[in-house]
Each structure stands twice: as structure tokens, then as C-alpha cells.
Amino acid sequence: MKQILYERLIQYILENQDRFYRVAYSYTRHQEDALDAVQSAVCKALEAHENIKNADAIKTWFYRILINECLTIRKKRGKVVLTADNLQSRRHSFP
């Protein structure tokens, strides 16, 4: 049973990779980040394929992994380390 679910997951990933990229891009708005999110989601899904309880849930299960990856990437990208130079340039760029 697990082998069949694994094969269905692989088939689903191969058939929908363009859709996954479009979803990831809609969240990240960066090509590289979207590709990273898809790649990471695929890896995590393949590693955790034994957690799938129902073959009919593959779609929602995978999309949840993908969206979580996108949100993680956005959160990481949003963090900016401020240095003295950054602070100086910010003071001058705002009235």
C-alpha cells in the first residue's frame, strides 16, 4: 500500500510541477525563491510520504507543504540585518 502511495505521489509531482511553480511564484514573487520552494516541498513530501493516510489527500497534503515552504522563504527574505551603513542610508532616504 505504501509503495502505491509513493508511486502516486511521484506521478502527481511530475504531472503538476508547472502548477507548483506558479503557486510558489504567486507567494514569493521571485523566480529563484519559487524554484527553491518547489524543490524543498518535493524533497519534504518524498521524505514524509509514509505520513499520507489516504491517496485522495495527496493533492491537499502536498499543497500544504508547498505553501508552508513559500511562507518560510518569505519570512526569511523579510528579515534584514541592519548595520550602521544601512541605518545611515535609511535616514537620508526618508524625509
Count Cβ atoms below 10 Å from residue 69 Cβ, excluding itself.
Answer: 25
Contact 34/47 with Cβ under 8 angstroms?
no
Higher pLDDT: 3 or 85? It is 3
Rg of the chain over CA atoms, in angstroms? 18
Q: Could you say which of 1.10.1740.10, 3.40.50.620, 3.20.20.70, 1.10.150.120 is the CATH number of the domain covering 2-93?
A: 1.10.1740.10
Q: What is the pLDDT of residues 43-73, one digit of tens each?
A: 999 999 998 888 899 999 999 999 999 999 9
Domain boundaries, the chain: 2-93
Q: What is the pLDDT of residues 22-49, one digit of tens each?
A: 999 999 999 999 999 999 999 999 999 9
State how far the Cα of 90 lies from the Cα of 21, in Å rounded to an integer. 34
Is pLDDT of 17 > 90?
yes
Higher pLDDT: 93 or 27? It is 27
